[in-house]
Amino acid sequence: RKEVEQDPGPFNVPEGATVAFNCTYSNSASQSFFWYRQDCRKEPKLLMSVYSSGNEDGRFTAQLNRASQYISLLIRDSKLSDSATYLCVVRGYGGATNKLIFGTGTLLAVQP
Amino acid sequence: NAGVMQNPRHLVRRRGQEARLRCSPMKGHSHVYWYRQLPEEGLKFMVYLQKENIIDESGMPKERFSAEFPKEGPSILRIQQVVRGDSAAYFCASSPAAGGLETQYFGPGTRLLVL
Total Cβ atoms within 10 A of residue B54 = 14
Tens digit of each residue's pLDDT (9 = 90 or more) over B32-89 = 999 999 987 889 999 999 988 999 999 999 999 999 999 999 999 999 999 999 999 9
pLDDT the model gives residue A8: 86
Chain B residues in contact with A4 (beta carbon < 8 A)? 42
Q: Which of A42, A98, A102 sits opposite B55 (nearest CB)?
A: A98
pLDDT at B6: 98
Which chain B residues are Cβ-neighbours of A50 within 8 angstroms?
A: none
> Which residues neighbour B94 within 8 Å (Cβ) at sequence distance 6 or greater?
B4, B23, B25, B26, B29, B31, B32, B33, B104, B105, B107
State the smallest CA–CA distance between residue B106 and chain A in angstroms. 6
Contact state of A44 with B45 under an 8 Å Cβ cutoff: no
Q: B61: phi > 0 → left, psi -120 to 50 → alpha, else beta; which?
A: beta
What are the pLDDT digits (tens) for A29-86?
888 899 999 999 899 999 999 988 889 999 999 999 999 999 999 999 999 999 999 9
Q: Which class for A88: exposed (0-12), middle (13-18), buried (19 or more C-beta within 10 A)?
A: buried
CB contact under 8 A, A98 and B43: no
d(CA A36, CA A48) in angstroms, rounded, equals 7
Residue B101: per-residue pLDDT:
62
Query: DSSP letter at B13?
Result: E
Name the pLDDT band for B1 (thresholds 50, 70, 90): low
Mean pLDDT of B86-101: 85
| Bridge pairing between strands B19-24 and B5-7 | antiparallel
